[in-house]
Structure 1
């Protein structure tokens, strides 16, 4: 009987324990469910910029918040030094724009932004303020001491096969046989070959855009951005982008970011729900015809870039350039909308800080609202006074190009704040001048007069010069696949008072001769950048003698140029072409660099007395390419067509 009672007691005790445990378990499960629900409730779809930094001259920050019915919410922040100045609702109730002030004394850290709705429900977003890696004055941009290597990342090198395809994106296939499909090149591919680029003598790398381009086709080029804060996963991720910038800095090199303020891609996330009725140019026409938006006649563009300077311009023509869409697949952004303007400026500054950039290249510079572009460049240069921006103005008229450079004496008083316009006029002059064979001096005069136009530029040495790029026919093709002509063009460009850029593959004579000007062909794969390539330009395996010679030629000039104060910042003297030759001198201190371009097929002797004002008589000069020495006397014998580069630095 006692044993029975004892057993009943045990059972009772065990039952109570089980009951209590089950209650505790249910409570834990309830708490876990509550946490999951809270996590869902607290999630905000987008807050951009995704983070910010303390210590800017401009203490303002405007957050774009995207979340369903967020327009019904009231935001609040409780963090020392951060104040909500104003809250703006949009046309779409799924947006809020919040103006913040971040005091100079604000400490780095995380804080919550609470959004309270009319029914007292809340959503919370945690925002971070980060410290800056360096001061504004320490962001040093590219300049005339640099040589820039332009890369189309998809076509340069595939460093990571695992990121080739993302099935969540619209374009998923890789097809190297199709020049308009993705080929698989990525950020890691550039990182893997920094030593190659550095050994050639380049100091700066400019990749075309690597941000997300979630487009149905031809997304490889990067200029139809669909998320301004996200790296395209097929190129890699933000960590790899940061690593590229870091690895370049380790080599004392710089990274230029290619940005696009004029347009986005039709697949951009905001195209499904535009914040305002004027977020885009020509927006009403687009929204009224959205189901049939594939006709060039709908977009309202005339591409008349001279409307920005034309004193007789009609309003209709000016609107057609500034407000027309670039293509039906690239919506034209309306920078006159103050929220979009702020968004673009902040995005540029965010990337400068995040990557530690050495410069920005701005695409299609004369297409957006020019007053905004002045504000955009001005905001950046105010924050980073030693930074550099280059703007693409595809015009062969130096009057037009010069208009866009800061300090220009423009009739309308316009100040662009842009340090470096692109020198399309010089590119054309070099190609046409070197190709002219019937009248040699006439051709060389195009080079001579192209440089003589420098009187128009506010700062010639800050103008950005090139022979070809990702949009133009390869220079080897344009110069009739004549290596001596390519050497003339390159040597001239690299000794000008300019910032020079060379397109990847020029060093191995890549061409688009099969279909000159075809963009897909211009952006062909760099040999050796992809598995199973029969030729490897990085190692020299499989290159022919002409390709190896051109690699060597560029390497010798660029590596000399790195330390040449005369080329970076020297006085320039040139003499009008004579007897099929053109002499250019760059001098600083005791260094003089002489570039002789000779178009004579037969040997010729030139009297040097004509150049006595340069003061080289009796001095010993070394040939930068061959290493041979030469005493500057009464005459020089030129044995073959081409370029002769001499220096007083022995």
Structure 2
């Protein structure tokens, strides 16, 4: 918003009141929660008394120790779309200046918008590394770090237009939703490409494009029946955030005083015998020095974050959130934040990053968890992420034999704990993401191992997520730094020698990976039996894992041979699920397989059969 300068004549004294920021910049009429808190920021603005037009009632005015802020809460119930006028009066009750404020008309059925669920496949990408659709914005003015593609940790120039340009590719791949790492402005001097140290949460980073570009991306995706998922960060901002440079109040962020790093021990959030100092160090400690930790227990902060999240949902017509570092937040505050959003949008899905290594501890954070209820806690978070499943996938397919706790037994044991989750179909299933080791690096480019992993991700309960580039065999060594697991997608930049976005431009190896992934997830799109069906799994023998997904009308049999030799299975062991079926159709090749007596599996292979 442009800086407005008002010159106020009070006797012979000229007073300068600079209104620099109004947030949210606009709002909507007809919201479920009619209470709206508008933050006005400007030099000594707290000296004025606000009023508002159109019969709107001011229900609260909050001033802090910083005179440059004033928080005005209004009741928008039954107030139609239109323009309001805020008037600011001086000590003599004279209007010093005014500010118009728009309440927009909501989209039809905005409150009951669809969101992602187990029928979707989410494609996770890092926009700076995906595709450069507009080279003119690579080194935008107003932000510090400029493009340097030679630096693995620098800005490379990928942007929103690059995503829009390749929606056909994503659709062909079988993706129905896109989760992009944060796109809001991150004005760090270095490493700003990841976007998790945001400096303005109402503004798309100009190196990615504009707010309008982001809205257009959402609209283009909706035309294809796809959903745009925003990566939202509640736990911290970046040290370059304009508010951090002039804090509204001392406890807007967690102070010790000043900086102290988190111990990252999230179990302290619920451990009944945890010391208070350890718990505080986890929750209130900063993730890193460049990311000030937000204090969600401060009502002003919580309201600001809640309204910002809702603003983006309405503005960009979003189809869901993924929330970064969910379990590092003040747990009562984040529960209120989550509930406020899902109260406004009952079908809106939010996946929280709860990176823990124990299913019970992850399940604690899912909505209506009986584990959380032991401590009278409900996060209201619809979806948690299956990090234990990810760990099992990374290890299991590199092990040729089954033991008590290795090989395919890892997968069986992971799913054996599904009873801990209150909504097992609403769990995010993945083999890797932007913070973990690259799957194809762990597997050393072994296509057979990739094929087994993807067969599993695509057919077990939950919402599958694919990390960009894995579908063409991309690798990357985390030991070399995050930049190496976040390489540029080949063909996303003009002049790239290899264009993996097109069949013509792919190598034979890239095409092999792509064909399998595309066939698998395209098949999955319309398979309700996979989306919401029940599961029966059988103990792995000789490192062969078999499970069934079924409902009243369909049955799918999944066989994964993680052994280095071929295996022949007698099928009478699976009679309770096979029932009257005598054959199955391979969903990848279309070939029929006789299952009446036995099935032979190739070494390191996966077979997905729709039973006939």
Same structural fold, with TM-score higher than 0.5 when normalized by the shorter chain:
yes
1:505 aligned to which of 456, 466, 469: 469
2:85 counterpart SS class = strand
| Mapping of residues 170-569 of structure 1, within 5 Å | 170-171=144-145, 173-282=146-255, 285-286=257-258, 298-409=259-370, 410=372, 411-439=374-402, 442-513=406-477, 515-516=478-479, 518-569=481-532
Q: Find the counterpart in structure 1 of residue 11 from structure 2.
A: none
Q: Distance in 1 between matches of 2:356 and 2:171?
A: 31
Q: Distance in 1 between matches of 2:111 and 2:46?
A: 39
Whether 2:116 is the aligned partner of 1:133: answer no
CA offsets 1:439-472 (integer angstroms, 9 cap, x no match) = 4784111111111110111111101111111101
Equivalent pairs, count: 598
Q: Find the counterpart in structure 2 of residue 20 from structure 1.
A: none
The TM-score, its normalising length taken from structure 2, stands at 0.95
Displacement of 1:637 in angstroms is: 1.6
Would you tell me which structure has more strand in proportion to its own residues? 2
Q: Distance in 1 between matches of 2:101 and 2:453?
A: 52
1:45 counterpart SS class = strand
Preserved contact between residue 137 and residue 206 of structure 2 (Cα < 8 Å): yes
Whether 2:53 is the aligned partner of 1:45: answer no
Q: Distance in 1 between matches of 2:323 and 2:28?
A: 23
Displacement of 1:355 in angstroms is: 1.2
Preserved contact between residue 354 and residue 384 of structure 2 (Cα < 8 Å): yes
Whether 2:562 is the aligned partner of 1:590: answer no
Displacement of 1:214 in angstroms is: 1.1
Distance 1:440 1:555, change over 3 A: farther
Displacement of 1:41 in angstroms is: 7.3
| Mapping of residues 110-125 of structure 1, within 5 Å | 110-118=83-91, 120=94, 122-125=96-99
Whether 2:606 is the aligned partner of 1:643: answer yes
2:155 counterpart SS class = coil
Whether 2:19 is the aligned partner of 1:58: answer no
Displacement of 1:88 in angstroms is: 1.1
2:417 counterpart SS class = helix
Q: Distance in 1 between matches of 2:403 and 2:464?
A: 25
Preserved contact between residue 178 and residue 228 of structure 2 (Cα < 8 Å): yes
The TM-score, its normalising length taken from structure 1, stands at 0.89
Displacement of 1:116 in angstroms is: 1.5
Displacement of 1:517 in angstroms is: 6.4
Preserved contact between residue 19 and residue 45 of structure 2 (Cα < 8 Å): no
Displacement of 1:202 in angstroms is: 0.7
Preserved contact between residue 6 and residue 97 of structure 2 (Cα < 8 Å): no
Q: Distance in 2 between matches of 1:241 and 1:300?
A: 33
2:79 counterpart SS class = coil
**Which runs of 4 or more aligned residues in structure 1 lie more than 4 Å from their structure 2 counterparts after TM superposition?**
35-38, 40-43, 438-441
Task: Specify the structure having the higher radius of gyration (Cα).
Answer: 1
Q: Find the counterpart in structure 2 of residue 163 from structure 1.
A: 137
Displacement of 1:518 in angstroms is: 2.1
Mean CA deviation greater in 482-491 or 114-123: 114-123
1:269 counterpart SS class = coil
2:492 counterpart SS class = coil
CA offsets 1:292-337 (integer angstroms, 9 cap, x no match) = xxxxxx4142111111120100000010011111111000011111
Would you tell me which structure has more helix in proportion to its own residues? 1
Displacement of 1:36 in angstroms is: 9.6
Distance 1:452 1:178, change over 3 A: same
Displacement of 1:631 in angstroms is: 2.9
Q: Distance in 2 between matches of 1:271 and 1:564?
A: 48
Preserved contact between residue 85 and residue 99 of structure 2 (Cα < 8 Å): yes
Displacement of 1:516 in angstroms is: 3.6
Displacement of 1:639 in angstroms is: 3.1
Preserved contact between residue 191 and residue 244 of structure 1 (Cα < 8 Å): yes
CA offsets 1:454-496 (integer angstroms, 9 cap, x no match) = 0111111101111111101111112232111111111111101
Q: Find the counterpart in structure 2 of residue 21 from structure 1.
A: none
Whether 2:72 is the aligned partner of 1:109: answer no
Displacement of 1:615 in angstroms is: 3.1
1:332 counterpart SS class = coil
Preserved contact between residue 561 and residue 605 of structure 2 (Cα < 8 Å): yes
Q: Distance in 1 between matches of 2:403 and 2:220?
A: 46
Preserved contact between residue 561 and residue 602 of structure 2 (Cα < 8 Å): no
Q: Distance in 2 between matches of 1:252 and 1:91?
A: 48
Preserved contact between residue 122 and residue 179 of structure 2 (Cα < 8 Å): yes
Unpaired runs of 5+ residues, structure 2, are: 9-14
Displacement of 1:87 in angstroms is: 1.0
Q: Distance in 2 between matches of 1:342 and 1:190?
A: 32
1:146 aligned to which of 85, 96, 120: 120
Preserved contact between residue 590 and residue 648 of structure 1 (Cα < 8 Å): no
Mean CA deviation greater in 477-486 or 194-203: 477-486
Q: Find the counterpart in structure 2 of residue 68 from structure 1.
A: 43
Preserved contact between residue 295 and residue 301 of structure 2 (Cα < 8 Å): yes
Q: Distance in 2 between matches of 1:398 and 1:153?
A: 31
Q: Distance in 1 between matches of 2:584 and 2:132?
A: 44
Preserved contact between residue 44 and residue 124 of structure 1 (Cα < 8 Å): no
Q: Find the counterpart in structure 1 of residue 52 from structure 2.
A: 77
Distance 1:616 1:479, change over 3 A: farther
Preserved contact between residue 136 and residue 385 of structure 1 (Cα < 8 Å): no
